[in-house]
Chains A and B, each alone.
Chain A
């Protein structure tokens, strides 16, 4: 059975039968894109003071710190553990403290009997005092030395300044990595800098088994327009997934070389930009919606279809465009997912956002023009533009989940 025969219904229940679609699903997995804020959180450090104190005085010293630095309440350092036991310090911090260990004249238990000599050294805790920006080091030392245990032991505290992550981790793995590298980190299974981990996990599990099928279909779409000489070998597929039901709403290949004015193909860069696969597919969804709202004789052909190329131009596009499988209620591309052979350019990324898509999956990243990926490097054509358009909720008026496909 061919793609077009199957697409007559365009609705697939339960298992998607790729064989019937005439395609071989790709085998692989989804890798969620890092948001810009996640990258910033992963790279922004601040200097913080740390100090060793006898375990029994740990909370007393924290009280001293609260009084000495009243505005410590205003900074968010909840991801940094304030009181840490020696084995949970990173190796290099262990070495720093071991090299400067101070001998405290206290027993381990202040209520118990004094212990003889140094044979049983006092238990020590390691405190994260505060960000260094909140108090000058001499002022901090002066505040500490006035109070127990330093005042009664006549010891000047050894305060060290170390770099620590400024923002909370976005995953358990990251928290683990930072704990080994900087300071003990607590992770609360939330992500203020991107999609919530459980939301991401649930969505990924829901679409991962079928993503390889839709990407293979997107490849067919790109192949059909490029082999006709009207576009690049780039394609996309728009799918509505409701529980176990999959509806392929639109399929489009790139058509930038189709030409606009006459029937001659266009060869000069950049070609017809609005005929990128994403723009075409979004246009086809819109035309299907208009078709649902009007009777056929109300529909008048317009010039837009020829220039914008948001009408089908290849067999696979035709077979899915001709099916009325959109629910009659619906707005733009709300609740729809889009699968692309390539990372969409900035224009197409924003078109996806404007159309209120739910989820986006692409296979090949495109550094020079892509609008979705982020990068630790400063933006450039070589390193990537770093826009991360899918998740900038503080700046743009919609956000959607985005993954890159990794072939097995």
Chain B
């Protein structure tokens, strides 16, 4: 990636990380995203599954709701997504159906990632147009946010596991 191009993408990933930090401070799984059209952010989202008690209210959906309240659906065909964690299978499929142009993400999701982590919803056979994905932008920061969250208790989950014994291990950037 050219230096200038890399800076462009990192700039938006930085904005996505801010949303993830906001999620962490509101006891939500720290995943954040921004949608970008023509170099401008048209929507921001963070995971809101705990607040809404809705397991599908991932950062992408929160931002999409915001975007679609102001723009026609067709705007997504010329829009890119920057998200701190790889989109899950559900979001990957939603993005493909909406016709997203490209997806940039931080770390992979090996539990239910839909764009390479577990499945390849972005490029598998489908009636909808495939989209390119680029992973690994500020990967360590995205992982560290998740690690900070998982040593906290998720009090909404049934029979919360005792996480007191969990150690916080952080990655150094540049690893």
The answer on A and B forming one complex is yes
Q: What residues make up the interface of A, taking CB atoms closer than 8 Å to B?
A: 260-261, 266, 268, 270-274, 279, 282-283, 285-286, 289-290, 293, 303-304, 306-308, 310, 331-334, 345-348, 350-351, 353-356, 368-369, 371, 379-381, 385, 387, 389, 395-397
Are B70 and A380 in contact, with the CB atoms below 8 A?
Answer: no
Interface 1/0s, chain B 58-89, versus A by CB < 8 A? 00010011101111111000000000000011
State in angstroms the CA–CA spacing of A304 and B66 once bound together.
8
One of B70, B71, B89, B126 near A350 (C-beta < 8 A): B89
20 contacts between A and B (CB under 8 A): A260-B72, A261-B71, A268-B74, A270-B99, A285-B54, A286-B57, A289-B53, A331-B156, A331-B157, A334-B158, A346-B89, A346-B93, A347-B94, A350-B89, A353-B89, A355-B56, A356-B55, A369-B126, A371-B93, A396-B89
A392, closest chain B residue (CB): B118
Cβ-closest 10 pairs across A and B: A286-B54, A350-B90, A347-B93, A346-B93, A350-B89, A260-B68, A289-B53, A354-B55, A273-B97, A355-B55
With CB as the reference atom, state the residue of chain B lying closest to A305. Answer: B65
Contact, CB under 8 Å: A274 / B61: yes
Interface of chain B, helix or strand or loop or mixed? Answer: loop
- Measured between beta carbons, the chain A residues less than 8 angstroms from B54 are 282-283, 285-286, 310, 332
B124 at the interface (CB under 8 A from A): yes
Complex Cα gap A308–B56 (Å): 11
Minimum distance in angstroms from A341 CB to a CB of chain B: 19
Residues of B within 8 A of A310 (CB): 54
Report Cα–Cα, A233/B46, bound state, in Å. Answer: 32
- Chain A residues, Cβ within 8 Å of B118: 395-396
- Residues of chain B whose beta carbon lies under 8 Å from any beta carbon of chain A: 52-57, 61, 64-66, 68-74, 88-91, 93-94, 97-99, 111-112, 114, 118-119, 121, 124-128, 156-158
Please measure, in the bound complex, the distance between the C-alpha atom of A308 and the C-alpha atom of B67, giving whole angstroms: 12
Known: A332-B53, A351-B56. A268 touches B156 (CB 8 A): no
- Which of B56, B73, B121, B156 meets A279, CB within 8 Å? B56
Report the nearest B residue to A288, measured CB to CB.
Answer: B53
Q: Roughly how many angstroms separate A255 CA and B136 CA in the complex, as a whole number?
A: 36
CA distance A27 to B118 in the complex (A): 38
CB pair A290 B71 closer than 8 Å: no
* Cα A397 to Cα B117 with chains together (Å): 13
Given contacts A333-B55, A347-B90, A351-B56, contact A303 B112 (CB under 8 A): no
Task: Decide if A345 touches B93 in the complex (CB within 8 Å).
Answer: yes
Q: Are B125 and A260 in contact (CB under 8 A)?
A: no
Most chain A CB atoms below 10 A, which of B54, B72, B99: B54
**Shortest Cβ distance from residue B41 to the other chain A in the assembled complex, whole angstroms:** 18
B157 and A389 contacting across the interface, CB-CB below 8 Å: no
A380/B125 contact (C-beta < 8 A), A282-B54, A346-B89, A396-B112 known: yes
Known: A261-B72, A303-B69, A307-B69. A385 touches B88 (CB 8 A): no
> B68's contact among A261, A285, A290, by CB below 8 Å, is which?
A261
Q: Is the CB of B158 within 8 A of A273?
A: no
B111 proximity list for chain A (CB < 8 A)? 396-397
On chain A, the residues within 8 Å of B156 by CB distance are 331
Measured between alpha carbons, how far is A282 from B124 in the docked complex, in Å? 26
Tell me, rounded to whole Å, the shortest Cβ–Cβ distance linking B154 to chain A: 10
Taking the closest CB of chain B, its distance from the CB of A292, in whole angstroms, is 9
Q: Please give me the residue from chain B that is nearest to A389 by CB atom.
A: B89
Which residues of chain B come closer than 8 Å to A354, judged between CB atoms? 55-56, 88, 90, 112
Other contacts beyond A385-B125, A396-B118: 7, CB < 8 A: A270-B99, A274-B94, A286-B52, A347-B94, A354-B88, A354-B112, A395-B118
> Is there contact, CB below 8 Å, between B125 and A308?
no
In the assembled complex, the Cα of A36 lies from the Cα of B70 at a distance in Å of 41
A286 (CB) vs chain B CBs: closest residue: B54
A283-B58 Cα distance, complex, nearest whole Å: 12
Bound-state CA distance A274–B52 (Å) is 16
Closest B residue to A383 by beta carbon equals: B125
The interface residues of chain A lying within 8 Å CB-to-CB of B71 are 261
**Docked-complex contact B68 and A307, CB < 8 angstroms:** yes
Nearest chain B residue, comparing its CB with the CB of A273: B97
Known contacts A332-B53, A396-B118; is A347 also within 8 Å of B97 by CB?
yes
Which interface residue of A333, A347, A379 has the most chain B CB atoms within 10 A? A347
How far is it, in angstroms, between the C-alpha of A334 and the C-alpha of B93 when the chains are bound? 23
- A260-B73, A261-B70, A268-B74 are contacts. A274–B64 as well, Cβ < 8 Å? yes
CA distance A388 to B150 in the complex (A): 29
Whether B121 contacts A346 by the Cβ 8 Å rule is yes
A268 touches B68 (CB 8 A): no
A290 touches B53 (CB 8 A): yes
CA distance A354 to B94 in the complex (A): 14
| Contact between A272 and B73, CB atoms less than 8 A apart | yes
Give the residues in chain A near B64, CB-CB below 8 Å.
274, 307
Cβ contact within 8 Å between A274 and B65: yes
Report the bound CA distance from A12 to B71 in whole Å. Answer: 43
